[in-house]
Copies of this chain bind each other. A is one copy, B any other.
Amino acid sequence: MRLAVQTEPFDLGAESVAFAAGAAGAGAVVTFTGIVRDNGGTLSAMEIEHYPGMTERAIAAIMEEARSRWALVDALVIHRHGRLAGGEMIMMVATAAPHRADAFAAAEFLMDYLKSRAPFWKKELGPEGATWVAAKDEDEAALRRW
């Protein structure tokens, strides 16, 4: 299991291939990639703040929880912070398991927890100024299914 919190871009292709190749015994690999939406150019950039130290602790705890719940061969979380332009990749999660149900469930679980329990805060920088992204009720609700 590996986790990285960084400002630099990551290489989705290289990360996906290395993850799948290293997951010995896996029959199923799921990846999720979060991208800064750029709907017709209305969102010019995003600024992501985080809580150094707690971020890594929270993500490590979430990954341990995923490993205790599903038969995972491996898991990966990469999350960027700082300033990101529209279309840039924000983060990725990867899970590997013998069977697809575990790989999918663990990836969704990790995403639900990263959304609401890892200390990141997004600020959208649009043409009309900067706005902190509000937490969504549906993201809190998504946690209740686990």
- Give the B-binding residues of A (Cβ under 8 A): 11-14, 16-17, 20, 23-39, 89, 98, 100-101, 103-104, 107-108, 111, 142
Contact = CB atoms under 8 A, between A and B. Distances in A.
A115 to B, nearest CB: 8
Interface residues of A: mostly helix, strand, loop or mixed? mixed
Give the copy number.
2
A133 to B, nearest CB: 12
Nearest to A18: B13
B32 A104 contact: yes
A39 to B, nearest CB: 6
A11 B14 CA distance: 10
Nearest to A90: B27
Contacts of A25: 37-39
Contacts of A26: 35, 37
A27 B88 CA distance: 10
Nearest to A33: B29
B37 A20 contact: no
